[in-house]
């Protein structure tokens, strides 16, 4: 049923666009025909008058016309009073008036009519050729069949604008931008954000309402060994590697391949044929004698002649097309590779445990259902694409819900986490010790859970030792997963006990007022997260309208009040401006 309604809707839109385009095309084509007909008729009438005048007189100008100005009924040598001396102002409407700047155009100089017939005939041909060009280009650029296709209708956004942009940003890996747009959705699209506001949770460790706890992961690698040799999971047998019988390519084979590539890249074309093909592809339709396709040497002195007179300017890409051209994915392959190269099965196990809790909503429910193909990317605004292009400072997502802060000392990574608005960090210290002259590496890793705001460690795991695993694998028959699970069980328990969010408890107006006071005192100027909490308390009836307006005024001034009372476009503009200013100030998430 929904599919039928959607198809009907698209069909209706398609018919509407077809009707508009059809009417526009008919009007334009009809106008051109009338202009062309009028031009031809004018030329024919003028030629007939000239012929009759010359046949019935001694060669002077037609009766009643000026011998100098070319205006009927005029006795002077210039145009009628008030018109001035204008280029091409002979009344014909064609190029060629005195001083007009067109090649070969002398205008009606004195009483000479000697070249009137040939000039008018040439101008008529030019007009006819231009009309032909226009009609051909219009036909070529209009796909009539697609206009009747329901799928060809312009994309129509469904749902709140900022929520869609938050979804698309997250699908493109810009998690900080997505979070700010999500807050902006609840602030500026309040009436359509009731479901998102109701999905709020409470974090005991953060002591505040949360829609999604922000996680980060980082590592520090030290030691003299250069090959990490982490604990590996059992992997399927690969192809194309050592021992598969393929080996590196032979030098003679490479030389033969290179020679074949350089031997003949012409595809069988002669030099002249290749040059002609290139000229056609470059849009040069000149013939060997330098004349253009209409027999002229360039229209109005411009390169390319009349063939380019009606050239269509390149179409600017739509926001959706710009978005499609951006090379962004939801998660970072580089982050995953760096972690896997140094931690192997350890980070794979941590990732599985995190994914399970994230999908269950243990850390909040905002954007947990977003995948790399989510949202409506074809209906985003140009302003959103500008924001996404400027979101390069967002740390990459290792997995949905957790960003990779990089490789470095714990203090450095903690500072980066604060700048990115991260709440909790899993920091992994990796120690690499060379064994047996460097042929083997003892890889020892240890995980810590850090509260970013305070910098305090909330707990640590036991050591995960690759040498110990090999010994237990031989003596106890342990697999890599069983060993890692045993070493990390205590750490995973710390995460479950301290970080899992719970339902928001029943609040009172006094609690809401105190919370808002704390946010304002901590510097909540132009802060969308602060205003999102205000909207939450407004939805729960804990703040009245006057209190809400007062806080919006304190946080954003006139722009804050626009978020309450402005038009939809004004609200969207303020949200995007605040986010853009945050990125410009080097703080992508506050």
Assess whether pLDDT exceeds 50 at residue 529: yes
Q: What does the block give as tokens for 221? A: 């690698």
Helix (H) or strand (E) holding 503: strand 502-503
Backbone angles phi, psi at 453, to 5 degrees: -60, -40
Predicted pLDDT of residue 159: 84
Assess whether pLDDT exceeds 50 at residue 2: no
Task: Tell me what the pLDDT averaged over the chain comes to.
Answer: 75
What confidence tens digit (pLDDT) does each residue in 178-232 have? 999 999 999 999 999 999 999 999 999 999 999 999 999 999 999 999 999 999 9
Give the integer Cα–Cα distance in Å for 303 and 300: 9
Better-scored residue on pLDDT, 137 or 554 = 554
What confidence tens digit (pLDDT) does each residue in 363-413 have? 999 999 999 999 999 999 999 999 999 998 889 999 999 999 999 999 999
Identity of the highest mean pLDDT range in 37-41, 50-54, 431-435: 431-435
* Ordered DSSP codes for 133-201: HHHHHHHHH--HHHHT-GGGSPP---S-HHHHHHHHHHHTT-HHHHHHHHHHHHHHSGGG-HHHHHT-E
Predicted pLDDT of residue 142: 53
Mean pLDDT confidence for 510-535? 93
When pLDDT is cut at 50, 70 and 90, the band that residue 314 belongs to is confident
Give the integer Cα–Cα distance in Å for 347 and 447: 10
Assess whether pLDDT exceeds 50 at residue 29: no
Give the integer Cα–Cα distance in Å for 332 and 133: 50
Proportion of the chain above pLDDT 90, given as a percent = 53
Give the integer Cα–Cα distance in Å for 173 and 187: 23
Least confident piece of the model among 218-222, 318-322, 342-346, 541-545: 318-322
pTM: 0.65
Give every CB contact of residue 555 below 8 A, 6+ residues apart in sequence.
520, 524, 525, 526, 527, 530, 531
Better-scored residue on pLDDT, 140 or 246 = 140
Contact 172, 326 (CB under 8 A): yes
Give every CB contact of residue 496 below 8 A, 6+ residues apart in sequence.
357, 362
What confidence tens digit (pLDDT) does each residue in 486-521 have? 999 999 999 999 999 999 999 999 999 999 999 999
CA-to-CA separations, 379 to 33, 155, 156, 275, 323, in angstroms, rounded = 38, 6, 7, 43, 10
Better-scored residue on pLDDT, 585 or 342 = 342
What confidence tens digit (pLDDT) does each residue in 105-142 have? 433 334 333 444 444 555 566 566 666 665 566 555 55
């Amino acid at each position: 049923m929904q599919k039928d309604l959607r198809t009907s809707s698209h069909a209706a839109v398609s018919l509407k666009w077809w009707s508009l385009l059809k009417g526009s095309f008919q009007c334009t084509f009809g106008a051109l025909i009338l202009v062309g007909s009028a031009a031809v008729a004018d030329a024919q009438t003028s030629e007939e008058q000239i012929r009759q005048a010359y046949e019935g007189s001694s060669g002077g100008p037609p009766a009643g016309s000026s011998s100098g100005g070319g205006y009927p009924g005029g006795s002077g040598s210039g145009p009628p009073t008030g018109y001035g001396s204008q280029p091409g102002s002979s009344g014909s409407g064609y190029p060629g008036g005195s001083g007009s700047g067109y090649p070969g155009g002398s205008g009606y100089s004195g009483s000479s009519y000697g070249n009137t017939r040939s000039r008018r005939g040439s101008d008529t041909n030019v007009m006819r050729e231009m009309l032909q060009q226009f009609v051909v280009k219009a036909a070529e650029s209009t796909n009539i069949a697609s206009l009747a296709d329901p799928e060809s209708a312009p994309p129509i956004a469904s749902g709140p604008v900022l929520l869609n942009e938050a979804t698309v940003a997250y699908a493109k890996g810009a998690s900080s931008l997505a979070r700010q747009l999500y807050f902006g959705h609840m602030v500026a699209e309040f009436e359509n954000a009731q479901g998102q506001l109701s999905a709020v949770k409470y974090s005991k460790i953060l002591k505040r309402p949360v829609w999604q706890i922000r996680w980060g992961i980082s590592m520090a690698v030290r030691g003299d060994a250069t090959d990490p040799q982490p604990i590996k999971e059992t992997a399927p047998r690969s192809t194309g590697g050592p021992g598969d019988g393929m080996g590196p390519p032979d030098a003679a084979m490479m030389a033969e391949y290179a020679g074949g590539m350089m031997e003949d890249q012409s595809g069988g074309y002669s030099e002249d044929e290749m040059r002609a093909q290139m000229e056609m592809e470059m849009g040069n339709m000149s013939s060997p004698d330098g004349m253009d396709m209409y027999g002229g040497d360039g229209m109005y002195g411009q390169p390319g002649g009349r063939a380019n007179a009606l050239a269509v300017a390149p179409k600017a890409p739509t926001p959706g097309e710009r978005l499609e051209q951006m090379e962004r994915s939801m998660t970072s392959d580089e982050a995953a590779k760096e972690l896997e190269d140094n931690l192997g099965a350890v980070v794979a196990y941590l990732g599985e445990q995190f994914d399970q809790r994230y999908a269950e909503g243990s850390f909040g429910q905002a954007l947990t259902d977003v995948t790399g193909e989510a949202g409506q990317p074809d209906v985003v605004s140009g302003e959103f694409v500008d924001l996404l292009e400027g979101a390069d400072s967002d740390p990459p997502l290792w997995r949905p819900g957790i960003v990779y802060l990089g490789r470095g000392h714990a203090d450095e990574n903690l500072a980066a986490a604060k700048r990115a608005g991260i709440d909790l960090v899993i920091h992994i210290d990796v120690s690499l010790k060379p064994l047996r002259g460097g042929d083997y590496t003892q890889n020892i890793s240890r995980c810590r859970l850090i509260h970013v705001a305070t910098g305090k460690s909330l707990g640590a795991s036991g050591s995960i030792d690759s040498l110990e695993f090999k010994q237990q694998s031989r003596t106890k028959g342990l697999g890599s997963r069983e060993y890692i699970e045993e070493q990390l069980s205590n750490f995973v328990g710390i995460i479950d006990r301290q970080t899992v969010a719970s339902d928001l408890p029943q609040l009172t107006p006094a609690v809401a007022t105190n919370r808002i006071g704390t946010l304002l005192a901590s510097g909540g100027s132009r802060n969308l997260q602060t205003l999102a909490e205000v909207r939450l308390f407004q939805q729960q009836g804990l703040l009245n309208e006057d209190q809400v307006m007062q806080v919006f005024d304190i946080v954003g001034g006139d722009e804050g009040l626009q978020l309450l009372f402005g038009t939809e476009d004004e609200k969207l503009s303020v949200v995007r401006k605040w986010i853009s200013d945050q990125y410009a100030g080097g703080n992508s998430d506050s």
